[in-house]
Amino acid sequence: MTVALCTKCGNIKKGLLVPCDNCGIGSRNSDFELLFTDHYISEITIRDFGALISKLQDSAIDKSVAEWAFYYIINTYYPEFGISDIPPTYTESSKELVKELVLDNIIIEDGPILSNIDDKYATMVKHYKTNCPFCKSSMSFAAWHVLNGTSDANLKSGLNEGRFFRSKCMRCDKVHSVYYDMIYFDIEYNPAVILLKDSLSDISHEMKTVTKDYFEELFEGFNYRKVRSQNELIEKVRIFRDDLDDIEVELAKHIIHSSSESKKNSSLVYSHKRSNIIKGQSLVFKNSINQSDSILYSMRKHAEQRRYLISLMKKRLNKDKHDWLVINQDRVETLLGEIGVKIP
């Protein structure tokens, strides 16, 4: 029988959809509450979350504030459980209640479902016990080793904002970055599979060996890319989300760097594309040091020459026997050198 958590009062239930023996409330948000069952996390972890809810209920005069404070804690410290909107009338009171209490981090033990996933392309999150680098208290971190971003706006938003690579300590409330490997794929827009192999990885995890054949059972026509950092992964997802060719984006960076502004714009990151009835489509880049600075590159500029250069570079890339291509500005500069082109 499923062991479940009543997210209203913190009581443990035998069954997800059955009413709570303590408060009489049945399941109100089965998608959210399903994550607080022994399908996903251990019974020990469920009881720890139950104790947290009980503490909030005992400390709050208004019990509805305690209920929304639990959602605030999940949103802030455990985003892997999904983001739930908190009514504006309860946002500040929830924050104040959490701030008043001394709360310990909950160490999450994964449930059995992680080792028994029928869909080999499903998103896979695994929890690891880590220590906060600031207060040294023990805490859990959720690593998204496989992330299927297809048709999931919350996952794409979380990745784009970098939430899946940050951890916030409930004890000291400080945020730190965590580095790990990930496979991201998406069959919407410009379909892509991106392999992140982070040289700074903090987590020891034996990532499964995957090849083109593995993913082509799902979909033929993926772009296969390898990146070296979280920021590169996020940028690459944005590029394919906007249905762009990453070679063209990196070529645009190279052209900008080759201009008189090269020193000022020493490190560019793709942000989004912008359309104008008169000027046409432009690529918007941010300076990685000063994110407030935007650099626009018109797609009308030298369009025919760019297309010709890209066709030559792709012919060179077609000779690459690796499953995972590294496409960045350095690679574009190397390809331009191989075809004998120097952009003034």
Provide the pLDDT for residue 123: 86
Element (H, E) at 56: helix 43-59
Q: How far is the C-alpha of 130 from the C-alpha of 59, rounded, in Å? A: 29
Provide the 3-class DSSP secondary structure of residue 2.
coil
Rounded to 5 degrees, φ, ψ at 52 are: -65, -45
Question: In 10 A of CB 283, how many CB atoms?
Answer: 23
Provide the pLDDT for residue 193: 86
| Residues 88-95: contacts with CB under 8 Å, at least 24 apart | 90/64, 90/65, 93/62, 93/65, 93/68, 93/69, 94/65, 94/68, 94/69
Query: How much is the pTM?
Result: 0.85
Q: How far is the C-alpha of 188 from the C-alpha of 144, rounded, in Å? A: 20
What's the chain's Rg over C-alpha atoms? Answer: 24
Provide the pLDDT for residue 291: 67
pLDDT tens for 36-72 read: 999 999 999 999 999 999 999 999 999 999 999 999 9
DSSP string for 309-339: HHHHHHHHHTT---SSB--SHHHHHHHHHHT
Q: What is the DSSP code (8-state) at residue 182?
A: E
Asked whether the beta carbons of 97 and 65 are under 8 A apart, the reply is yes
Asked if pLDDT for residue 210 goes beyond 90, the answer is no
Provide the pLDDT for residue 203: 75
Instruction: Give the pLDDT mean for 221-238.
Output: 91
Asked if pLDDT for residue 196 goes beyond 90, the answer is no
Asked if pLDDT for residue 213 goes beyond 90, the answer is no
DSSP string for 208-244: PP--HHHHHTT-S--EEEEESSHHHHHHHHHHHHTT-
Instruction: Name residue 37's beta-bridge partners.
Output: 4
| Position 233 confidence tier, pLDDT thresholds 50, 70, 90 | very high
pLDDT tens for 156-184 read: 888 888 889 999 999 999 999 999 989 99
Asked whether the beta carbons of 160 and 188 are under 8 A apart, the reply is no
Provide the pLDDT for residue 204: 67
pLDDT tens for 316-330 read: 998 877 778 999 999
Which of 44, 77, 87 has the alpha carbon at shortest distance from 163? 77
DSSP string for 106-168: P-PPB-GGGG--S-TTS-EEEEEEEE-TTT--EEEEEEEEEEE-TT-HHHHHHHHTTGGGEEE
Alpha carbon of residue 59 to chain centroid = 34
Asked if pLDDT for residue 221 goes beyond 90, the answer is no
Instruction: Give the pLDDT mean for 187-192.
Output: 84
Provide the pLDDT for residue 101: 92
Provide the pLDDT for residue 234: 93
Element (H, E) at 104: none
Provide the pLDDT for residue 344: 62
Asked if pLDDT for residue 207 goes beyond 80, the answer is no
pLDDT tens for 247-303 read: 999 999 999 988 765 555 568 999 999 998 888 899 999 987 666 778 999 999 889
Provide the pLDDT for residue 56: 97
Q: How far is the C-alpha of 111 from the C-alpha of 46, rounded, in Å? A: 10
Q: How far is the C-alpha of 283 from the C-alpha of 52, rounded, in Å? A: 47
Provide the pLDDT for residue 115: 52
pLDDT tens for 103-157 read: 989 999 998 875 555 577 888 889 999 999 999 999 999 999 889 888 777 888 8
Q: What is the widest separation between alpha-carbon atoms in the chain?
A: 76
Ramachandran category for residue 336: left, alpha or beta (phi over 0 → left; psi -120 to 50 → alpha)? alpha
Asked if pLDDT for residue 11 goes beyond 90, the answer is yes
The mean of the pLDDT values for the chain is: 88
